Structure 1
């Protein structure tokens, strides 16, 4: 027991130290786990022979990950992926297997060896790729979606591969390990529901098991979760979620199917369940820890003795496999019209071998398809390719993506062929609303934006806009800044927005400049630069949300609106004094103690103002606080009730 505690402590210490350091240097958590494994394994030797056993246990993290992935995919969405799933995924597996097999055969490797090696190297690492996609926010990109389709097909393809591999067994290897095979077969019979069944019987069992997962997940899971949720004990719900995942994984293993595929199917079935988010939050911590442990065991399992003895061969095989897979993926990306940086993301992210490669390697050795010595060499190639994968993501982030972004935004500015009384710089979520309101009232606007994607999106919905940098003086001249009356600044870059306001007010003082501020500090900077009107982008929406929150808490709607107006009025009285204090401070200490003290006084004044009754006072708007009509409260309550029912 003491030994288990010490090993667990070693693995956790390695993760706690290595992963934050790797993240800080922009290397990603996966590479941090792999480095931690190398350090505590081959380098220091703190862990050893137990690594393989722990790796089999940690592979359950992949099973949990696919369950969570399934929870996020509705069946309708999965059906919509069918062309990518079967076309892109199917071709990737078939073409990669064929190319690797052809090269291996050309080098004199027997066809059975070559086919087994091709199948092993056709798979990629679901764990590394999806984990990195989630960390870097790449899951929703075109390249990310295509990669996910391929990974999903690969996980499904493991099943027929496991069925095919025993048929490739070599007689000489069978004779050499006859005793081992008999013992393995006996062990397999003990843990299998399908051992000895004819083909038709095995098919029936598989169909019944999958149907049981689908039907049970749809009809039996909800009553079970409601029963458990009624207990109010979070730990029991966690136990139920683990029971579900482990039970389905065990069932799939007993009938010879992939546990990861079974749990993925269960996740898809439960994707529409009202307990989906609760399940995900309960499984996520276990998934993260087990995946981290799996990556550490991959690093710790690298045998440096074999690596140094066959250094040239192993490095050559690793780089060769990754190059072949990347080229095949690039060709498929071209065929399926995956363009731009997404094409490279798709190719580089799947260029490694995967965790299921370890499973197939062990299975091929056990079934006398490959000799144990070759299995060890290929296992090292799989591990090294996984180890190098985070480097490919860094290459994509630091080299490829910036080049595509620069190419997109370095095109020549559009020729502006019209002018208007209003120029709007920035047509994002804020500038769009301003432009729509002005256009709806017949005001002629000229819209400028430095994002090609945003300009193209606007043109698709018939909103005329021009690509170009609004801070360029020649572009402003072409847009008619000399005759413009209003200039709206709604660009995201705070420094450029402030510089733009300063330039316009200095050069064209007759133009009224209306600016969008990111926060209070930016608000003051824009005002200092000379903006005629500044509004924080979230101020009005936050006020509306706060007033609605008051109404939801039982405050009368008229009282809530009254309190909102009082909030605005009180803030307006302190606005100039706060701004003056900020402006008089040094550049390095804008929000100093004097400013903080004034702000705290404002908060105290706000609290006192909120307690005052204003029923005897008037507002600036006509009939602003007129008493509500008769039966208003009853009618409002009835409307709220009708709205909830509908």
Structure 2
């Protein structure tokens, strides 16, 4: 069997199967695409006719990735992270490159090969690390923020790395390989330099003054599909121009993205290019996997395993002291070091260019590909090691003396946007609070305003005890981590049965979890602001302000009463959308609210006769207003 349809089927089927399996195993999509390439290449021996053309086509995924990275550059964000971005990120990249280059040269590689390995080792997997941090709720922690800053710097550092590889190849007298001749190939040095600078200047000027009017015209004409075509045309045109003057297409695309980063069409460009980037980037990783020689894996498995562990060890040795130097403390430092201990997706790009420029042989490149892949596969294990280290640090060392909180009668767990407002209100009314938060920079900022706050994870029992949980009158759980919030409420209720607990709920279902855990009052995080917005909407539609306030009050009263009445219908083992009784009750509550808005009591009295009576005051802790953010299917705030 042959032909375009067969090859398309083979690539797509392998990608779908391998990526789903890889994602389910927690290994990420990159490992899945590489595995798909192994399946269609070395394993099934699918014909590779036209593979050179396919590989060139797939490289546009890298070009589009750099274009999107350029679009993402926000000067305000870069300035805010400048200390960790330039200091921590810059030192990490420079130190890792230096150590790996020295080690590589010492064991017999050329300096060009060793430096290329240093480039690869200095990078980490942005996709895997950020996804894992977000899933574990650690992206806003000290270690998570430091990791994000370093990953962002690594993305920037790829640009000079791409520019250095052709110079390294020329220094090694390697014949530069390419996809065709360039305009500067037969020009004198001064002329080629001028032409190159002119090409870069044209990209900047055209991106600023030529592309915007075209995008604006297309937007006015509402030609949605032509906007997408223009976005792709822009990326391809920049790639062709850069290739024509001997520069990296990815470098040109990055520059074009930076120029358009402040454009009013930024988000539309991102949405249009992202799907193509994902598919082409997946195709690129599949071509990388198809190049893997399973015989090399079989014959060199010990070398590959040792190199993977050596790379992880070198990066931890470099990252951990840097973390401590930049005050990324204790367990957060281990999260930072272990989380970034693998090589990243851009390593495959650098390997591909290095092999194309004849810096690496095919066998060395295959071994390096396997080392990068093994590092990605081991990333979940590294996060598991961090979890064990964090527990040991908590158990053996506890908090530093400077971070031991004073005892207080009011404890606030979490001082983000939600907790800060609560704290300000209490302070304005003469109350003293003890604040606990796991983000050291937030704690330091709040202390500058003279507010007592202490670094630490409020879900740790020993920290709560140090803050005076056993004697406190009130605990306010203001963190936005659903599981940790429930855990804190449960522990506090067990340790101090008399304490009053006010908790922030993620959604309607989380409200019931917190109620079971022992919270006295539960506030659904977006409920109040959502009701306020709805009131403004009614007023904008012509309703009198007095009538708006009256209807807002009715809605809140009926919704809270309905929330209490529906508590017995919740089944934690069944999804809300699969619970017909809960759905029926939810619809009844909607009918009650509609009737109340019209001043009718019939529907409410009918439901009460069927048994929908609110619980007695002594039956449970009475929650007032409760709210959610993005509820699961079948629920609302």
Q: TM-score when scaled to structure 1?
A: 0.76
Name the residue aligned to 2:287. Answer: 297
**C-alpha contact (below 8 Å) 1:58/1:291 kept by paired residues:** yes
Distance in 1, Cα, partners of 2:169 & 2:261: 34
- Verify the 8 A CA contact 1:125 1:355 in the aligned structure 2: no
SS in 2 for 1:462: coil
Match of 2:120 among 102, 119, 124: 124
Structure 2 residue 231 is matched with structure 1 residue 241: yes
- CA deviation after TM superposition for structure 1 residue 23, in Å: 0.8
Q: Distance in 1 between matches of 2:308 and 2:470?
A: 58
* Number of the residue aligned with 2:354: 360
| Structure 1 residue aligned with 2:596 | 609
Counterpart among 431, 440, 455 of residue 428 in structure 2: 440
1:544 maps to which of 532, 536, 554: 532
* Structure 1 residue 38 corresponds to structure 2 residue 38: yes
CA contact (8 A) 2:33 2:285 kept: yes
> CA 1:50–1:394 in 2, change beyond 3 Å: closer, same or farther?
farther
What is residue 644 of structure 1 aligned with on the other side? none
Cα distance, 1:135 vs. partner?
A: 3.5
- In structure 1, C-alpha distance between the alignment counterparts of 2:168 and 2:408, rounded to whole Å: 70
The one of 352, 370, 387 aligned to 1:384: 370
Tell me, what secondary structure is at the counterpart of 1:16? Answer: helix
Distance 2:434 2:124 in 1: 47
Aligned-residue CA RMSD (Å): 4.0
Deviations 1:145-203 (A, max 9, x none): 32442453343233343144245338xxx9xxxxxx9xx89x84xx3110111111111
Residue matched to 2:66: 66
Residues 555-574 of structure 1, C-alpha deviation per residue, up to 9 Å, x if partnerless?
Answer: 55444333212212333554
Aligned 8 A contact 1:123 1:354 in 2? no
1:159 equivalent in structure 2: 163
The match for 2:15 is 15
**In structure 1, distance between residues paired with 2:406 and 2:123:** 52
The alpha-carbon distance between structure 1 residues 267 and 472, as it changes in their structure 2 partners (threshold 3 A), is closer
Residue 438 (structure 1) shift: 1.4
> Within the alignment, does 1:479 sit opposite 2:468 as a pair?
yes
**Greater C-alpha Rg:** 1
Q: Which residue of 2 aligns with 1:210?
A: 200
Distance 1:590 1:216 in 2: 53
Whether the 8 Å CA contact 2:489–2:501 is kept in 1: the answer is: no
**1:244–1:438: structure 2 CA closer, same or farther, 3 Å change rule?**
same
**Which residue of the other structure, out of 362, 375, 386, is the alignment partner of 2:361?**
375
Deviation at 1:215, TM superposition (A): 1.3
In the alignment, structure 1 residue 499 sits paired with structure 2 residue 481: no
Contact 2:508-2:524 within 8 A present in 1 as well: yes
Q: 1:470 to 1:95 in 2, by over 3 A?
A: closer
The answer to whether the 8 A contact 1:322-1:351 is kept is: no
Q: Supply the distance in 2 between the matched residues of 1:167 and 1:85 (Cα, whole angstroms).
A: 28
Query: Which whole-Å CA distance do the structure 2 matches of 1:396 and 1:295 have between them?
Result: 23
Cα distance in 1 for partners of 2:458, 2:75 equals: 44
Q: Deviations over 1:6-26 (max 9, x none)?
A: 111111001111111111111
CA 1:148 to 1:287, structure 2 compared with 1: closer, same or farther past 3 Å?
same
Q: CA deviation at 1:29?
A: 0.8
| CA spacing shift, 1:34–1:269, aligned 2, 3 Å | same
**Counterparts of 1:349 and 1:607 in 2: how far apart (Å)?**
57
Say which SS state the counterpart of residue 201 (structure 2) adopts: helix
Q: Which moved more, 1:89-98 or 1:62-71?
A: 89-98
In structure 2, do the counterparts of structure 1 residues 478 and 438 end up closer, same or farther at CA, with 3 Å as the change threshold? closer
State the alpha-carbon separation in 1 of the partners of residues 463 and 222 from structure 2.
66
Deviates most, 210-219 or 396-405: 396-405
Distance change (3 Å), C-alpha of 1:415 and 1:98:
closer
Equivalent residue for 2:622? none
| 1:563 correspondence with 2:554 | no
CA distance in 1, matches of 2:92, 2:124: 20
Partners in 1 of 2:155 and 2:459 — Cα distance?
Answer: 43
Secondary structure in 2 matching 1:230: helix
Residue 224 of structure 1 deviates from its aligned partner by: 1.1
Note if 1:462 corresponds to 2:450: yes
Of residues 328-337 and 351-360 in structure 1, the stretch that sits farther from structure 2 once superposed is 328-337
How far is the alpha carbon of 1:390 from its aligned partner?
1.4
Contact 1:19 1:29 survives alignment (8 Å)? yes
2:314 maps to 1:343: no
Specify the alignment match of 1:199 in structure 2.
189
Q: Say which is worse superposed, 242-251 or 567-576, in terms of deviation.
A: 567-576
Distance 1:593 1:276, change over 3 A: closer
What are the ranges of 5 or more consecutive residues in structure 1 without an aligned counterpart? Answer: 106-113, 175-180, 365-369, 614-646
| CA distance in 2: counterparts of 1:104 and 1:72, whole angstroms | 40
CA offset digits 1:370-418 (Å, max 9, x no partner)? 7xxx722122123212322312422332223552476368753676655
Of 124, 140, 146 in structure 2, the residue corresponding to residue 142 of structure 1 is 146
Deviates more, 1:467-476 or 1:238-247: 467-476
Residue by residue over 1:8-59, the C-alpha shift from the partner in whole angstroms, topping out at 9 and shown as x without a partner, is 1111001111111111111111111111111221112124354444223212
8 Å CA contact retained: 2:71, 2:270: yes
Distance in 2, matches of 1:5 and 1:65, equals: 27
Which moves more between the two structures, 49-58 or 15-24? 49-58
The gaps in structure 2 that reach 5 residues or longer are 601-637
1:499 and 1:39 mapped to 2: Cα distance? 49
Q: How many angstroms does 1:225 deviate by?
A: 0.6
Q: 1:169 aligns with which of 170, 173, 180?
A: 173
| Count of matched residue positions in the alignment of Structure 1 and Structure 2 | 572
Normalised by the length of structure 2, the TM-score is 0.77
Q: Answer yes or no: is the 8 Å Cα contact 1:502–1:529 preserved in 2.
A: yes
SS of the aligned residue for 1:444 comes to coil
Residue matched to 2:247: 257
C-alpha contact 1:424 1:488 (8 A) present in aligned 2: yes
**Cα distance, 1:239 vs structure 2:** 0.6
